[in-house]
Amino acid sequence: MRGVLVTFEGIEGSGKSTQLLRLSERLRRLGVSHIVTKEPGGTALGAEIRRLLLTRHASGEAWAPEAELLLFYADRAQHLKAVIRPALEAGQVVLVDRFEDSTRAYQGASGVGEDALNHLRDLVLQRLRPHLTVLLDLEPEQGLSRAGSRNEALPGFQETRFDEAALDFHRRVRQRFLQIAKDEPQRVSVVPAKEDPALVEAGVWRAVSPLLRSSGIEVD
């Protein structure tokens, strides 16, 4: 495949979406052809799956972690087929807001085992891996309070209430992201997300620009 796949990962409130848009804006100014997409919800089927996930607490029925896992992977399978693979085959730069590492971090923290995670990854991604993953790292206390003030009135994926259980869950999610970065330092670049957005943007660019240059894309 000729394109370049860059994924953005991090806990809620880490500023992924803001940074992704800033990078997209920079690429646009440089004339680099690219697309921006997200999981869950990057396709028509994905939008339906996202709606199910968003309202999963409404019925009062507790979902099996594997049911949730399979919905995220159904979203991803469609996203790969309809959006990501065609764009890569067309030689585009593809920027994705959340990808496989989110499943490893979140569903892993909900109790899904490594075997199931690896099995689904192999089935759906086959040999495809991001060329680069930008992990925006932030303490959950900060992320949750940022996300909480943003989403106060919205039904959220996780509890937006700033309670101990939510904090504990997000601490585990963060540790899982950091462990992935430790295991795959050549793929995952950790960018501290605490500073102001312009400094974070510079950190993201330091991670992304060498990959674009080495892929033959003019960025200077």
Identify the residue among 18, 158, 209, 215 touching ligand TYD (CB under 6 A). 158
Q: With CB under 6 A, what is the number of residues at the site for ligand TYD?
A: 12
As measured in angstroms, the least distance from the Cβ of 182 to ligand TYD is: 20
72 part of the interface to ligand TYD, by CB under 6 A: yes
Whether 12 and 144 have beta carbons less than 8 Å apart is answered as yes
176 part of the interface to ligand TYD, by CB under 6 A: no
102 part of the interface to ligand TYD, by CB under 6 A: yes
Identify the residue among 86, 157, 171, 211 touching ligand TYD (CB under 6 A). 157
142 part of the interface to ligand TYD, by CB under 6 A: no
205 part of the interface to ligand TYD, by CB under 6 A: no
106 part of the interface to ligand TYD, by CB under 6 A: yes
37 part of the interface to ligand TYD, by CB under 6 A: no
C-alpha closest to that of 36 among 94, 86, 87, 77: 94
As measured in angstroms, the least distance from the Cβ of 10 to ligand TYD is: 8
Positions that interact with ligand TYD (CB under 6 A): 12, 17, 39-40, 72, 98, 102-103, 106-107, 157-158
